[in-house]
Amino acid sequence: MSKDIQELKAICKKIREDIVTMIHQAGSGHPGGSLSAAEIMTALYFGGIMDVRPEEPEWEGRDRFILSKGHVAPVLYSVLAERGFFPVEELSTLRRFGSRLQGHPHKAHTPGLDCSSGSLGQGLSIANGLATAFKHRKTPQRVYCLMGDGELQEGQIWEAALYASQHKLDNLCAIVDDNGVQLDGRVEDIKSLGDIAEKWKAFGWNVIEADGHDMAAVMDAFHEAKEAKGAPAVIVAHTIKGKGVSFMENDCAWHGAAPNDGELQAALSEIRGA
């Protein structure tokens, strides 16, 4: 499936509506980082970047996606539902007992998931394993891994980065949702990462920087990553935490909080009017 830019922008609006609505209904969740990743996730699943089959979730020939920052499950669940992996109506069951849509992704229960996640810093290692297996099998599948910028404070990320570079995993594309804000403050104030792009370059990766809310730029970045050979690619997507809802933007208080009734209506009004 591949949509044009205007169609992708319209899907982004729907994804953002889903995010704030399901978190409101659940009474808990993580809107900030889910909203900042909407364009990234829309491009992957609706822009023809990933080869997947919603009607056959376990198709062996599919590309793989690892959500390393598992707390932003709402954006992944919305994309999977809107893409047809399970009914959109099921989004209203987020975080409920017995639901397939838990607060962090659980592969055993949710169609379309390639990995359970939640503990930060582990996703890139898992992606390495998949990419290495595909290399050994000489099969064409690609692996995508979305991480948060605060997550890059985890040492395991950089161990995995060294491995991927040394083994020339050019079938691997990492994405950093570089929104500058983590659980309790700005990344630069808590544990500064310095120049993120230069760090990845120093670890031997093909580095692509993009405006993570410019759909055309995001699509171009993914196409460029596919063309990169001899080393893994990383897209440093410059984004805004809580993008699309003005009172959530760049505010760490919305890292993990649910909007009340009035805040939900205000958020939906902004998203629909954008």
- What are the tens digits of pLDDT across the range 65-102? 999 999 999 999 999 999 999 999 999 999 999 999 99
CA distance 138 to 222: 22
Output the average pLDDT for the chain.
97
Q: What is the pLDDT of residues 97-121, one digit of tens each?
A: 999 999 999 999 899 999 999 899 9
SS3 223: helix
Triad 94, 143, 233: Cα angle to 5°: 120
The answer to whether 194 and 164 are in contact (CB under 8 A) is no
Query: What is residue 135's predicted lDDT score, i.e. its pLDDT?
Result: 97
Superfamily per CATH, domain 5-273? Thiamin diphosphate (ThDP)-binding fold, Pyr/PP domains (3.40.50.970)
Compute the distance between CA of residue 38 and CA of residue 103 in angstroms, rounded to an integer.
Answer: 18
pLDDT at 262 > cutoff 70: yes
Distance CA 65, CA 238 (A): 20
- What does the pLDDT average to over 218-242? 98
Distances (CA, A) of 189 to 34, 37, 89, 150, 193: 22, 22, 40, 11, 10
Are 182 and 150 contacting, i.e. CB atoms less than 8 angstroms apart?
A: yes
Q: Is the pLDDT of residue 274 over 90?
A: no
- Range 252-272 average pLDDT: 97
Tens-place pLDDT, residues 153-196: 999 999 999 999 999 999 999 999 999 999 999 999 999 999 99
Predicted confidence at residue 3, as pLDDT, reads: 80
User: What percent of the chain lies above the pLDDT cut of 70?
Assistant: 99
Tokens of 106: 């659980």
| C-alpha to C-alpha distance for 170 and 95, rounded to whole angstroms | 36
Question: How far, in Å, CA of 132 to CA of 118, rounded?
Answer: 23
Confidence check: pLDDT of 1 > 80: no
H-helix or E-strand spanning residue 66: strand 64-67
